[in-house]
């Protein structure tokens, strides 16, 4: 089975699903004792994308953008409830918002992260999305776990932590399998949140202790943002061995987009990039961090 590593949300072809439930129901059929309550058809709901693929790794969420639009004539408050099936875990199961009735209609959106645990049975599950009596169903495919044997990237999708993360970026963006800097402005890559303050740290915890001897770091290096101008310049590669961080490699004065650091094999349970400076001296930027064993 081919495993799709990128969340479907990254695909440009994704188009918002739209449902206006009950919109074909004539207003006259609503029951007579309506004390000014909004009609079910007042809120249009959609999700982008319409379906998701996820993998049961801790730092590999799929992201679903939820949208509610008041298409009626009365200001109102709305609760969108999310109902996941099977092993799916959501970062929220309720999205509530005040929805003023304005012209043109003003959509209100919020993201939800969708995860599956490592032991999730691969298959197709779903998330029910509901406002009043309007309902959508979003299919979610849980793909098999990637191999993590010799020669495989041990950092892929594993739990990342960082000293800080800029609000426009995802913590997990540097372990999502996408090392293409041209995707930087959209979804992939980590950017710290403390401008012109160093050091910054980006850690990834391996699923189990492993003998490692190589780290591949992809910093920002695109046509618009060359590494020599905006990439990571100085950093230490550290491995946590027996609970203690050890520096296993050092990189200084880098201007390349891709740097391979090899070192004597160590048995480690985590890898850290200790970011000491960027070429523009503002932010630490990592598009992808890969860890390999011997």
- Residues engaged in binding Ca ion (CB under 5 A): 173, 176, 178, 188, 288
CB of 67 to Ca ion, least distance (A): 26
The pair of structure tokens assigned to 217 is 């770091």
The pair of structure tokens assigned to 288 is 């992808």
Of 203 and 288, CB closest to Ca ion: 288
CB of 191 to Ca ion, least distance (A): 11
Question: Contact at 8 Å (CB) between 93 and 81?
Answer: yes
Residue with tokens 């391996």: 206
CB of 177 to Ca ion, least distance (A): 7
Strands 108-115, 62-70: parallel, antiparallel or unpaired by DSSP?
antiparallel
Of 156 and 274, CB closest to Ca ion: 156
Residue with tokens 């479907």: 8
Cβ count within 10 A of residue 284: 32
Of 157 and 173, CB closest to Ca ion: 173
Of 10 and 276, CB closest to Ca ion: 10
Of 48 and 288, CB closest to Ca ion: 288
CB of 17 to Ca ion, least distance (A): 27
Q: Which of 60, 52, 17 is nearest to 139 (CA)?
A: 52
CB of 218 to Ca ion, least distance (A): 7
Closest-approach residue to Ca ion (CB): 188
Question: Contact at 8 Å (CB) between 210 and 154?
Answer: yes
Residue with tokens 């303050």: 197
């Amino acid at each position: 089975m081919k495993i799709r590593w990128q969340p479907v949300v990254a695909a440009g072809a994704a188009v918002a699903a739209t449902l206006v439930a009950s919109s074909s129901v004539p207003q006259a059929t609503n029951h007579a004792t309506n004390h000014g309550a909004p009609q079910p058809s007042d809120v249009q709901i959609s999700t982008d994308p319409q379906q998701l693929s996820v993998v049961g790794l801790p730092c590999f969420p799929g992201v679903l953008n939820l949208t509610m639009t008041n298409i009626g004539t009365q200001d109102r408050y709305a609760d969108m409830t999310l109902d996941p099936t099977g092993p799916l875990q959501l970062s929220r199961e309720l999205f509530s918002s005040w929805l003023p009735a304005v012209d043109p209609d003003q959509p209100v959106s919020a993201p939800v992260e969708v995860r599956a645990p490592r032991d999730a049975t691969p298959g197709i599950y779903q998330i029910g999305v509901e406002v009043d009596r309007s309902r959508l169903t979003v299919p979610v495919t849980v793909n098999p776990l990637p191999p993590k044997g010799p020669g495989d990237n041990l950092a892929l999708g594993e739990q990342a932590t960082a000293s800080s993360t800029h609000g426009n970026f995802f913590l997990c963006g540097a372990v999502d399998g996408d090392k293409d800097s041209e995707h930087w402005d959209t979804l992939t890559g980590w950017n710290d949140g403390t401008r012109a303050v160093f050091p910054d740290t980006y850690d990834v915890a391996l699923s189990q202790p492993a003998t490692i001897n190589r780290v591949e770091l992809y910093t920002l290096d695109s046509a618009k943002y060359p590494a020599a101008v905006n990439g990571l310049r100085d950093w230490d590669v550290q491995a946590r061995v027996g609970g203690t961080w050890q520096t296993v490699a050092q990189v200084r004065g880098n201007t390349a987009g891709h740097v391979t650091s090899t070192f004597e094999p160590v048995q480690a349970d985590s890898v850290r990039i200790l970011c000491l400076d960027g070429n523009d001296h503002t932010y630490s930027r990592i598009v992808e961090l890969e860890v390999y064993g011997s």
